[in-house]
């Protein structure tokens, strides 16, 4: 399954020629282009169907390259990246002069991340041996769709429009990176994700606010903050453990097809409700969340009842994505 060194070299050649390579990261699959080539980055937007003023993250093979992409590295960014890279953390910093507008959506800032995934690191490190060597990559899904966590998801969603898909198996984390804006006086979390808020606050030694976007967050322009993002076609309803059986019965009584996701589901669920998943813990919930939402659509379910985990650790990111899937992002 793991791509051979020859395949990695082929992917590097595709990127150098301005092509698009989908690659695994520990969070979700990315749709990569040479971050120094505006034409290649524009193609990413076309293939995704994403508005051109939305910034994309630049992926690097080594934390040492941070200073090549940032105009300045604030102490918080230095601290977090030295401790958490490679890992599911994106820092937003002021961009270096050479970073194209196509990457930043015209902003004066750039999002940077070193992913913790062997195929991604092999690709990024070989790509960085010539030139600036950053790979601009949003998640490898069409705009507004659920992020891909396997190579098969990428092919199903983007198909022939990607020049090469590197298969690194299933993503280990399953939800996107945590984004920390380090450009202000105090750092702020722009998107909850694979790195917990608790860990970030521990490292920085003070509380870090979550700056929630919601629709119309023009100052942030993070599509991950649109309330309707990450939504499957099925209607997602957020429920708690105490009410899930009753809500399932009501929905079935109205003639709807119903799927349920949740840790420790009760024994009295009505037999007509399909159990999509019983994650064994919050990490398992995160890892397979998007797969479950895809499965709900594949089964053509009308309604998905999702039991929201406690909002600690990675559970906070799961709760965030569930809320957005339910159209209730805040
Ligand atoms: O885990 C991840 O972050 C995955 C993998 C592929 O690395 N990538 C990902 O990319 O989720 P994307 O494009 O789907 O989401 C990136 C988010 C967007 O919401 C974007 O607006 C935000 O990062 N972002 C990027 N640069 C930014 C900047 N300069 N200022 C504010 N937000 C930024
Ligand atoms: Mg995305």
What percentage of the chain has pLDDT greater than the value 70? 93
Which residue's CA is the nearest one to ligand 1's atom 15?
138
Query: Mind listing the pLDDT tens digit of every residue in the chain (330 residues)?
Result: 799 999 999 999 999 999 999 999 999 999 999 999 999 999 999 999 988 789 999 999 999 999 999 999 999 999 999 999 999 999 999 999 999 999 999 999 999 999 999 999 999 999 998 777 999 999 999 988 899 999 999 999 998 899 999 999 999 999 999 999 999 999 999 999 999 999 999 999 999 999 976 433 334 445 455 545 566 788 999 999 999 999 999 999 999 999 999 999 999 999 999 999 999 999 999 999 999 999 998 899 999 999 999 999 999 999 999 999 998 775
CA distance 259 to 283: 21
pTM exceeds 0.85, yes or no: yes
Ion ligand 2 — residues with CB under 5 Å? 139
User: Which domains are assigned to the chain?
Assistant: 5-220 (3.90.870.10), 235-325 (3.40.50.11030)
Per-residue pLDDT of 76-132, as tens digits, reads 999 999 999 999 999 999 999 999 999 999 999 999 999 999 999 999 999 998 777
Among 299, 291, 211, 215, residue whose Cα is nearest residue 256: 299
Among 123, 157, 249, residue whose Cα is nearest residue 260: 249
Ligand 1 mean position, distance from CA 225 (Å): 10
Ligand 1 mean position, distance from CA 92 (Å): 9
The pLDDT of residue 51 is 83
Ligand 1 mean position, distance from CA 266 (Å): 37
Q: Which residues contact 273 (CB under 8 A, 6 or more apart)?
A: 248, 252, 258, 259, 260, 305
In the chain, where do the E strands start and end?
Answer: 21-23, 30-34, 57-59, 89-94, 109-113, 135-136, 164-165, 178-181, 188-191, 235-239, 258-261, 274-277, 303-307
What is the DSSP secondary structure assignment for residue 100, as one 8-state letter?
A: -
Ligand 2 mean position, distance from CA 251 (Å): 31
The pLDDT of residue 222 is 52
Pocket test for ligand 1, best of 23, 29, 222 (most atoms within 8 A of CB): 222
């Amino acid at each position: 399954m793991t791509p051979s060194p020859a395949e990695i070299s082929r992917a590097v050649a595709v990127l150098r020629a301005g092509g698009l390579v989908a690659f695994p990261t520990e969070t979700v699959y990315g749709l990569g282009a040479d971050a120094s080539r505006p034409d290649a980055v524009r193609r990413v937007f076309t293939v995704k169907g994403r508005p051109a003023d939305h910034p994309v993250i630049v992926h690097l093979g080594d934390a040492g390259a941070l200073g090549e992409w940032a105009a300045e590295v604030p102490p918080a960014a230095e601290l977090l990246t030295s401790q958490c890279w490679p890992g599911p953390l994106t820092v937003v910093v002021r961009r270096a002069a050479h970073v194209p507008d196509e990457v930043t959506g015209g902003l004066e800032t750039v999002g940077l991340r070193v992913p913790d995934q062997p195929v991604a690191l092999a690709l990024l490190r070989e790509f960085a041996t010539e030139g600036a060597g950053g790979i601009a990559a949003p998640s490898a899904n069409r705009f507004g769709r659920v992020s891909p966590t396997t190579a098969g998801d990428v092919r199903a969603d983007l198909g022939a429009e990607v020049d090469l898909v590197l298969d690194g198996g299933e993503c280990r984390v399953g939800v996107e990176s945590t984004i920390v804006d380090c450009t202000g006086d105090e750092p702020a979390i722009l998107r909850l994700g694979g790195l917990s808020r608790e860990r970030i606050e521990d490292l920085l030694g003070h509380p870090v606010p979550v700056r929630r976007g919601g629709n119309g967050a023009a100052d942030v322009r993070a599509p991950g903050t649109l309330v309707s993002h990450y939504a499957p076609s099925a209607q997602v309803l957020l429920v708690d453990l105490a009410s899930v059986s009753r809500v399932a019965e009501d929905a079935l009584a109205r003639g709807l097809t119903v799927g349920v996701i949740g840790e420790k589901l009760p024994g009295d669920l009505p037999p007509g409700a399909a159990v999509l998943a019983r994650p064994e813990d919050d990490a398992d919930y995160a890892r397979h969340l998007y797969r479950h939402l895809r499965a709900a659509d594949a089964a053509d379910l009308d309604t998905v009842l999702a039991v929201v985990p406690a909002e600690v650790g990675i559970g906070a990111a799961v709760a965030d994505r569930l809320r957005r899937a339910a159209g209730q992002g805040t």
